[in-house]
Amino acid sequence: MAKRDYYEVLGVAKNASKAEIKKAYHKLALKYHPDRNPGDAEAEASFKEAAEAFSVLNDDDKRAQYDRFGHAGDGFNGAGFANVEDIFSAFSEIFGGSSVFGDFFGGSTRTRVRGRRGASLRCGIELDFSDPVEPTEKTISLRRAETCDDCNGSGAKTGTSPSQCPQCQGAGVVMTSAGFFSMRSTCPRCHGRGEVITDPCPGCSGSGRKPKEREITLKIPAGIEDGMTLRIAGEGEAGEQGGPPGDLLCEVHIRSHPLFKRAGADVYLDLPIGFAQAALGAKIEVPTLRGRTEMKIGKGTQGGQVLRLKGEGFPKLDGYGRGDQLVEVVVEVPGKLTKDQERLLREFAETEEQNITPERKSFLDKVKKLFSK
């Protein structure tokens, strides 16, 4: 089943502000929250759908990539939340702490949060000019922090486990009184996890992560342009103590081409032709991104004239159609002539004076008038 547009899911316009997006998500979260719809599978699905849409549109980088690629972008197609608990954890930081859903529904003081999200990594890849004609793949090597194999990411030494935080008693938050008010804040000792590590893993020093070399295959969509950034969700560094992984942001650099230039999905080519070909017309083989094709040059073609080869450009990023190849004619005047060529051109010049085109006659009349003053 095809995914719905994220803007449609939240019921906002494509130019909606962050405040409008957050407000729309709040409304849907209240409407479809599992506590209000116990046992309702459709409500839970709508709750997850709204959360997924918000997770993308609330993030500037993810939103920009979604606007360009739609669901075809890496990290969006098939992405989502496996369960409701993942949603609660993922948005605890977005709304300034873990109390976003607790604020909606009364909550409790036991609001243990997940570990810290892993850092996002950046990389760059180079593509040949013609690579974006079709979807392609590139494999890169990088060094990143991954979950420690010795402790399975817990940070605790093998045979031990984290213990309950003595300061917050496992709640992850502490209460402080200020006059008539009580304030809840993240526990400073366990940083909201509700647990502390008393015997850290020697392999990772209690962080739950180790640096490793890794090869990653990037799926590059057809039509991608120079300077664009691919976001590969979950391929950044591993989170600390159960936190979600970061993303991998890969900037695309496309090499220049000796013949072609590019603007969006269109390709530009300068085509040198001879004087006789321009005057008499010809059929000429023209290079394209996909090989060679025959182009008809009409009689009397002028230098600077642009001819169009439909559909010979790059695929459009929205998945609908291709750009064109625009061919600008460059009429070359021979630098040297044989005696026969010179004789024939002189004969042509004599007849040309008797067959002046209307455009040239108008130009000559203006010149004559200018110098007769």
Structure tokens at 149: 């194999």
- Residue 105: the pLDDT is 44
Residue 102's pLDDT is 45
**DSSP letters for 103-131:** HHH---S------PPPPPEEEEEEE-TTG
pLDDT < 50 regions, the chain: 74, 77-79, 82, 84-85, 89-90, 92-110
H or E element, residue 369: helix 358-371
For residues 362 and 292, give the distance between their C-alpha atoms in angstroms, rounded to a whole number: 40
Give the angle subtended at the CA of 160 by the CAs of 155 and 165, to the nearest 5°: 70
Global pTM value: 0.59
What pLDDT shows up at residue 232? 92
Structure-token match 């591993």, residue found: 238
| Buried-exposed string 14-37: b where 16+ CB fall within 10 A, e elsewhere | eebeeeebbebbeebbeebbeeee
3-state secondary structure of 61: helix
- Closest listed residue to residue 238, CA positions, set 272, 263, 214: 214
Q: Are 204 and 210 in contact (CB under 8 A)?
A: yes
Neighbours of 237 (CB within 10 A): 22
Q: Give the pLDDT confidence score for residue 288 in this predicted structure.
A: 93
Q: For residues 146 and 169, is the Cβ–Cβ distance under 8 A?
A: no
Say if residues 250 and 123 touch (Cβ distance below 8 Å). yes
* pLDDT given at position 329: 92
Nearest to 3 by CA among 36, 41, 52, 59: 52
pLDDT digits (tens, 9 = 90+) for 300-336: 889 899 999 999 999 998 878 999 999 999 988 888 8
- Report how far apart the first and last C-alpha atoms of the chain are (Å, whole number): 79
The predicted-structure confidence for 326-344, as pLDDT tens digits, reads as follows 999 998 888 888 888 888 8
Residue type at position 1: M
Q: 293 has which bridge partners?
A: 286
| Among the listed residues 173, 174, 247, 242, the one whose alpha carbon sits nearest the alpha carbon of residue 216 | 247
- Contact between 240 and 118 under an 8 Å Cβ cutoff? The reply is yes
Q: What is the pLDDT of residue 115?
A: 66
- Report residue 286: phi and psi, to 5°: -120, 135
Which pLDDT does position 360 carry in this prediction? 55
pLDDT at 99: 43
